[in-house]
Amino acid sequence: MRAGSSTGDSGAASVSDLKAQTKRQRLCARMQFATVCGSMYLDGWNDGSTGPLLPRIQKVYGLNFTVVSLIFVFACVGFLSGAFANLYLSGRFGFGKVIVLGLVCQVIAYAIEAGALPFPAFVLGYAINGFGMALQYAQSNGYVASLKDNREVKMGILHAVYGAGALSSPLVATQFAQLPHWSFHYLCSLGIAFINTVLSIVVFGLKTQDGEKGTSEKSQFNQILRLREVHLLAFFILIYVGAEVTMGGWMVTYVIDVRGGGPSSGYISSGFFGGIMIGRVGLLWVNKKVGERRVLFIYSLLAIGLELVVWLVPSLIGGAVSVSIIGIFFGPMYPIAMNHTVRILPEWLVTGSIGWIAGFGQAGSALLPFLTGVISSKTGIKSLQPL
């Protein structure tokens, strides 16, 4: 009887230990996902800040559209450098160290920008920031893409958090743009970046992700760059992100110069990015019901139709509402592309490929706004909508 009792107690204890371990694992997984979402919030905050501050930057430094667009050129250099570096750094050092490196770069960049240094130093901050953002984008997307449970939903949530960051930052940046110390907005960005850095070190412990391999980074690098699908998806993301950030960044200047909007026009940028946040979660059921491939074409056509409304209808309120709805239709496109990448590529190349696609694609957030600025310097900001 005693032996049987002992065996029963041992079995009950092992089941109890297993349940406790499972709870700890779930809690740990949730903390890790929340920390990655924090990094994406910072990236959204960064992208949403530029639009409301752009007119003030032009005024303070006395720049035309072409010269102020160097902000985007330097950011583009940083993004592309980060995308290439990520392929090597991920295999060499692993997820934990690389995502922290990206955050540290952003802390340094915001410290430079907060000082409102001479313009050459100011745009250098954008290059450093772009490098860090490319690493963060790559690691965050790669992390979620490698998850086994509810990957599509979590990818949507991850990018909805990006939308939340881009929604909230114009609310703050619009206020700072009207203050004498306008560059102190970057101190808010620095604070968020510092908090994310500490959380990433504590939660991930500078360790590699489960299942991540770091022994054949050169071979993986070559395999990824030889895949035609990877480059097509990277180009799609580059155009998508470029269109998104161009809309969110230059739209404020367009509304002020063409539609006669006032200092509070920066809130229109919040409406656009708020739409993106809503679309990435609220349209998940539509994506599943209609099919992700087909729904992309539908969203694109609807967004183009609303762009025509913004361009051709001379209404400030109507344009602002249309821009917000465009954001809703824009929202699901990025997560859909990432989910498609997971389905079509070999499992051992998914994380590295998504890192390259996300990092390279992020260069679009600098390249297309720069081209818009160059064209606008000759034809006026009214050229934004046809572009």
Give 167's contacts (C-beta < 8 A, 6+ positions apart).
44, 48, 270, 273, 274, 276, 277
Under 8 Å between Cβ of 370 and 80: no
Q: Return the pLDDT at 384.
A: 60
User: 194: which 2 tokens?
Assistant: 């510092």
Tell me how far apart the alpha carbons of residues 348 and 211 are, in angstroms, rounded to a whole number. 9
Per the document, the length of the chain is 387
Tell me how far apart the alpha carbons of residues 277 and 292 are, in angstroms, rounded to a whole number. 18
Q: Return the pLDDT at 194.
A: 96
Q: Return the pLDDT at 189.
A: 95
Report the alpha-carbon angle 189-164-331, nearest 5.
Answer: 130
Compute CA 6 distance to the chain's CA centroid, rounded to the nearest angstrom: 55
Under 8 Å between Cβ of 154 and 144: yes
Tell me how far apart the alpha carbons of residues 101 and 85 are, in angstroms, rounded to a whole number. 11
Report the alpha-carbon angle 203-204-207, nearest 5.
Answer: 155
The identity of residue 14, as a single letter, is S
What Å distances lie between residue 44 and 38, 100, 241, 244, 300, CA to CA? Answer: 10, 17, 12, 11, 22
The structure's pTM equals 0.80
Q: Return the pLDDT at 2.
A: 44
Q: What are the pLDDT tens digits along the chain (387 aa)?
A: 444 454 455 555 455 555 656 788 888 888 999 999 999 999 989 988 887 888 899 999 998 888 888 888 898 888 888 888 888 888 788 888 999 999 999 999 999 999 989 999 999 999 999 999 989 888 888 888 888 788 888 888 998 898 899 889 988 998 998 888 899 999 999 999 999 999 999 998 887 765 555 445 556 777 888 888 999 999 999 999 888 878 877 777 778 777 777 777 777 878 888 898 899 889 988 998 998 889 999 999 999 998 888 888 788 888 888 889 999 999 899 889 888 888 888 877 877 788 788 778 877 877 888 788 778 777 776 666 655
254 φ/ψ angles, rounded to the nearest 5 degrees: -60, -45
Tell me how far apart the alpha carbons of residues 58 and 169 are, in angstroms, rounded to a whole number. 19
Q: Return the pLDDT at 110.
A: 96
Q: What is the DSSP string of 150-190?
A: SHHHHHHHHHHHHHHHHHHHHHHHHHHTTSTTGGGHHHHHH
User: 117: which 2 tokens?
Assistant: 């240094």
Tell me how far apart the alpha carbons of residues 11 and 3 are, in angstroms, rounded to a whole number. 12
Tell me how far apart the alpha carbons of residues 170 and 131 are, in angstroms, rounded to a whole number. 22
